Amino acid sequence: MKVLSGIQPTGRPHWGNYFGAIQQYIQLQSEEQSFYFIANLHALTTIRDGDQLRQNSLDTAIDLLALGLDPDQATLFIQSDVPEISELCWLLMAGTPMGLLERCVSYKDKIAKGLPVVTGLFTYPVLQAADILAYDSEVVPVGEDQKQHIEVCRDIAQAFNHAHGETFVLPKPKILDSSAKVPGTDGEKMSKSYGNFIEVFEPVKPMKKKIMRISTDSRPMEDAKEPEGDHLFQLYSLFASEEKKASMASMYRAGGFGYGDVKKAIFEEAEAFFAPARERRLELEANMDRVHQILGDGAAKARVKAAEVLARAKKACGV
C-alpha cells in the first residue's frame, strides 16, 4: 500500500494537530511506501515572506522527525524540491473543468467570507491532485472534512484517464479517527484560528501557565462531577494510561476535588508524554546537516517516482 500525506508549514503543531492527524500519519509509515512532504508551494497562498516560509518548512520537518517520523521507513521531503509536481500540475490543469474547482469548499468559504481570493487558492485542488497522483498513491489519510479533496483528485485523474488513456492510479481516502476530541483552553475545539491552542513544543513554563488558565465551570469542589464530556478530563485522557484515566474518573464521580488538581495532572502527563520528542528535537536542531541530508535524500527518492509518473502522463497527452 502506497501512502501519501502533506503538511503545510503555516505554524508549529498544537495538541489538536498531533492527536487529530500527525500521530496517525506516523503510524502509517511502515506501509509498503510512504511519502510525507512539507507543502511549501501550497503555503505560498498565505505566507508572503520568503525567510519565514523557509524557516517554517525546516521547523515542520524537524517537528515531524522529533515526533517519530523515521526516514528509514518513510520518505520525507519539501514539496518544491520535486519540480516534477509543478509540471504535472499544468498537465492536469489543462483538462480540469472550472466548475469542479468552483465547487470546492475552501474556495467557496473564502468567497462567502468576503476574503481576497488568489488564483493559487482557486487552483489549489489541482496542485493537490498532482501531489497525490505523482507517487501512484493508493491511500491518503485525511479528516472527514477533507474527504472532498480526494474526491476532486479522483475526478481530475479520471478526466485525464478518459481523455488520454489509463495513466493515473485512483487514490482512496483513509478517514482519520476523530474520536479523540482535543478541546482548547476555552473548552471549544483546539484551533489556531481560535487562539485557544497549546503547542506540542511549547516551552514548559508557558505550557503550564496555559493549562492552569483553562476555563472551567463554577461548581463547588465537594460536588460530584461526570467525567464524560468534561474538557479537562478529555485533555487528561489524551496522555494518561487507562489505569490513570479510571482513577481520575472515580475522583470526578466522588467529588471533593478542585479543577486545579486536574490541571496539574494534565500538565504532568503532557510534559512526560512529549519529553522524548522535545529531547529529539533539541538533538536535531544541533545537527542541521543531518536534517538537510534527510530532506535531500527524500527529495531525490521522491523525484525518481514523480519523474516516472510525469513521463507516463506526458507520453499519454503528447508533450
Report the side by side order of strands in the sheet with 172-175.
75-78, 33-38, 2-7, 139-142, 172-175
The yes-or-no answer on residue 110 being catalytic is yes
The yes-or-no answer on residue 108 being catalytic is no
Q: To 10 degrees, the CA torsion angle through 93, 94, 98, 104? A: -20
In one-letter notation, the amino acid at residue 83 is P
Closest alpha carbon to 317 in 92, 47, 103: 92
Distance CA 141, CA 5 (A): 7
Distance CA 154, CA 70 (A): 29
In one-letter notation, the amino acid at residue 253 is R
Distance CA 245, CA 251 (A): 10
Distance CA 145, CA 104 (A): 12
Q: Is 299 exposed, middle or buried (0-12, 13-18, 19+ CB in 10 A)?
A: buried
Residues β-bridged to residue 37: 6, 77
Annotated catalytic residue within 2, 174, 181, 192:
192
Annotated catalytic residue within 2, 174, 181, 189:
189
Could you tell me where the DSSP H helices lie in 140-201? Answer: 147-164
The yes-or-no answer on residue 245 being catalytic is no
| Helices and strands, counts by H and E, the chain | 15, 5
Q: Give the cell for residue 69.
A: 517520523
Cβ 221 vs Cβ 251: under 8 Å: no
Closest alpha carbon to 235 in 15, 12, 14, 13: 15
Task: Return the active site residues.
Answer: 110, 189, 192
